[in-house]
Amino acid sequence: MSFNDKRIVVTGASSGVGQATALALMNAGAFVIGLDVKPANDNCNQFILCDLSNPDSIDEAVLQIKQPINGLANIAGVPGSLPADVVFKVNFLGLRYLTNLLLPKLADKACVVNVASTAGAGWRNRKAVSTSLLTLGGWHQCLARFQELSMNAVATYDFTKELVILYTMLVASNQRHRGVRVNSVSPGAVCTPILADFYDTMGNELLQSLKQQAGGRDAYPDEIANAILLMLDPRGFWVNGTDLIVDGGAEVLMNLEGLAIPPLPFN
């Protein structure tokens, strides 16, 4: 896979999956523009400090991003151990605000990848409330409507990932005419600094059983990065508006329950 001469924006570039993605893209020849609230090391060609929970900070960041832009990987995210409003802002509002500002600047045939989560797999069950939020374009209006739902932070994490999956479909549908593909990638558990929070907030028993189904370990960040690069591949392929689950097969357990046969550990 070559990304020579391609300029790709990566959020969450300072840690975990975002850091691994930025490095993999640079190794594949891309010019990487990293955004994060924490400084990044040497894994970006250009780094912009940006707080995705603050629209003014996103406005300032976008002014510093030069065209052409051939790809956008929205990877930054926070777990449900933070306050619900922060989770909602970073994981959904900020992702959407940045994407909506960058869409007109994207080159034809550019690719967008939004990182959701298998925690968002239940998006069909809450589609009515999700779509009602998706129709509220304004930051403050949408935040106010979310606050009316009185959701706790753990539930908010799942909800934001459901919103990301649906927002991905929406943007795919309105960018199709110029060949811009928009997909989401939904990791299962990944060995990054926020994984311990997920074991606390989502439950050790559930995550242990999913880990067993996936072969006895959680994913490494570069295994998720490779899937993101696949979806960003500038050669393009006939995948658009879809959610790619990248969990080593763990989700099989959720779908088949007792019928699923745990594999022998394989590394």
**Annotated catalytic sites, by residue?**
157
Q: Which of 9, 10, 22, 50 binds ligand NAI (CB under 6 A)?
A: 50
User: Whole-number minimum distance, CB 39 to ligand NAI, in Å?
Assistant: 9
Q: Which residue lies nearer to ligand NAI by CB, 15 or 240? A: 15
Region of 36-44, 61-69, 237-245, 255-263 interacting with ligand NAI (CB under 6 A): 36-44
Regarding 15 and contact with ligand NAI (CB under 6 A), the answer is yes
Region of 44-52, 147-155, 173-181, 233-241 interacting with ligand NAI (CB under 6 A): 44-52
Q: Which residue lies nearer to ligand NAI by CB, 20 or 69? A: 20
Q: Which of 8, 22, 28, 36 binds ligand NAI (CB under 6 A)?
A: 36
Region of 12-20, 59-67, 130-138, 256-264 interacting with ligand NAI (CB under 6 A): 12-20
Q: Are 28 and 229 in contact (CB under 8 A)?
A: yes
3-state helix vs strand vs coil in the chain, percent to 5: 50, 15, 35
Torsion of CA 39, 43, 48, 52, to 10 degrees: -70
User: Whole-number minimum distance, CB 164 to ligand NAI, in Å?
Assistant: 8
Regarding 32 and contact with ligand NAI (CB under 6 A), the answer is no
The C-alpha atoms of residue 148 and residue 128 are separated, in whole angstroms, by 15
Coil/strand/helix, residue 142: helix
The C-alpha atoms of residue 223 and residue 172 are separated, in whole angstroms, by 24
Q: Are 243 and 161 in contact (CB under 8 A)?
A: no
Q: Which of 103, 194, 230, 254 binds ligand NAI (CB under 6 A)?
A: 194
Regarding 18 and contact with ligand NAI (CB under 6 A), the answer is yes
Residue numbers 108-137 binding ligand NAI by CB under 6 A: 115, 117
Regarding 158 and contact with ligand NAI (CB under 6 A), the answer is no
Q: Which of 3, 8, 10, 53 binds ligand NAI (CB under 6 A)?
A: 53
Nearest by Cα to 231 from 8, 36, 4, 5: 8
The C-alpha atoms of residue 137 and residue 151 are separated, in whole angstroms, by 20
Q: How wide is the angle at C-alpha 169 spanned by C-alphas 166 and 175, nearest 5°?
A: 140
Query: Residue 116 contacts by C-beta under 8 Å, 6 or more apart in sequence?
Result: 161, 162, 164, 165, 168, 184, 185, 186, 243
Regarding 187 and contact with ligand NAI (CB under 6 A), the answer is yes
Region of 2-10, 45-53, 169-177, 231-239 interacting with ligand NAI (CB under 6 A): 45-53
Two tokens, residue 196 = 């311990």
Residues forming contacts to ligand NAI in the complex (CB under 6 A) are 12, 14-18, 36-38, 50-53, 75-78, 90, 115, 117, 187, 189-190, 192-195, 198
